[in-house]
């Protein structure tokens, strides 16, 4: 397989540059994560729990496009990608970017390697992919969640609150709940408490508060 690195793109980019550059078509950036009571998301490189229906929810969200022919750009930290079940790849309607500073060749099913989040956003918002990409989904891990949630294009966090305690070594970053506010009754986000394998959890949707955006000058 050939190697497609984002490094062919301009190297020095800042968030304010891309957010305000008229040539860059902004794309909605969405985070999707599940975290338990202590905000833990991982242990020893894997998910601390086994919740097949919760996982199906994630797959459904990231592979859904509203317009025929469009695709979503999936942004994955290298470790999170490597522990994803390869049997589920390729993902329908998805173009996969892995973030890495070390990879030199494309793993199977990966379309691009980017050296940072900004390169991935640039890739999605400029030719040739800008016509094709509908949304950008961040599937973690921690560093990319933290960086992308601060980006002005990030408008939603799909968050599964797992109502249980698990030993974890990886944690979802704190986010400002004055900026991202929970939306009740959002379409496609069941409000009822779910239960699998004796573990209760609830799907939540946090949306960037438009008033805050205006206040921050985005």
Ligand X SMILES: NC(=O)c1ccc[n+]([C@@H]2O[C@H](COP(=O)([O-])OP(=O)(O)OC[C@H]3O[C@@H](n4cnc5c(N)ncnc54)[C@H](OP(=O)(O)O)[C@@H]3O)[C@@H](O)[C@H]2O)c1
The residues near 50 (Cβ < 8 Å, ≥ 6 apart) are: 197
Do the Cβ atoms of 196 and 54 come closer than 8 Å? yes
* Residue among 135 and 201 whose Cβ is closer to ligand X: 201
Site for ligand X in 163-192 (CB under 6 A): 170
Among 9, 65, 91, 103, binds ligand X (CB under 6 A): 103
Q: What is the DSSP secondary-structure string of 33-77?
A: EEE-TT-EEEBTTB-SS--HHHHHHHHHHHH--SSTT-EEEEEEE
- Residue of 47, 51, 121, 123 marked catalytic: 47
- Residue of 31, 51, 54, 118 marked catalytic: 54
What three-state secondary structure class fits 172? Answer: coil
Among the candidate windows 1-9, 76-84, 104-112, 123-131, which touches ligand X by CB under 6 A?
Answer: 76-84
Site for ligand X in 131-170 (CB under 6 A): 139-144, 147, 170
Among 10, 46, 90, 183, binds ligand X (CB under 6 A): 46
User: Is residue 102 close enough to count as binding ligand X by CB under 6 A?
Assistant: yes
The residues near 141 (Cβ < 8 Å, ≥ 6 apart) are: 41, 42, 77, 79, 80, 170
| Token pair recorded at residue 11 | 């190297």
Active-site residue numbers? 47, 54
Binding site for ligand X (CB under 6 A): 33-34, 41-42, 45-47, 77-80, 83, 99-103, 115-117, 139-144, 147, 170
């Amino acid at each position: 397989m050939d190697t497609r690195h984002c490094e062919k793109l301009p190297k020095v980019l800042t968030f304010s540059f891309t957010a305000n550059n008229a040539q860059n078509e902004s794309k909605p950036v969405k985070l999707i994560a599940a975290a338990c009571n202590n905000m833990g998301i991982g242990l020893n490189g894997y998910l601390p729990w086994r919740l097949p229906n919760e996982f199906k929810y994630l797959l459904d969200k990231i592979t859904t496009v509203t317009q025929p022919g469009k695709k979503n750009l999936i942004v994955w930290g290298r470790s999170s990608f490597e522990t994803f079940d390869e049997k589920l790849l390729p993902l329908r309607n998805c173009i996969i970017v892995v973030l890495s500073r070390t990879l030199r060749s494309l793993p199977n099913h990966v379309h691009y390697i980017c050296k940072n989040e900004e390169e991935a956003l640039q890739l999605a918002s400029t030719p040739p992919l800008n016509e094709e990409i509908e949304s950008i989904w961040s599937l973690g891990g921690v560093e990319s969640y933290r960086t992308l949630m601060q980006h002005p294009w990030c408008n939603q966090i799909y968050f599964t609150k797992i109502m249980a305690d698990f030993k974890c070594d990886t944690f979802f970053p704190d986010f400002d709940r004055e900026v991202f506010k929970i939306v009740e009754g959002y379409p496609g986000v069941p409000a009822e408490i779910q239960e699998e394998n004796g573990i209760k959890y609830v799907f939540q949707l946090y949306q960037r508060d438009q008033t805050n955006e205006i206040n921050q000058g985005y």
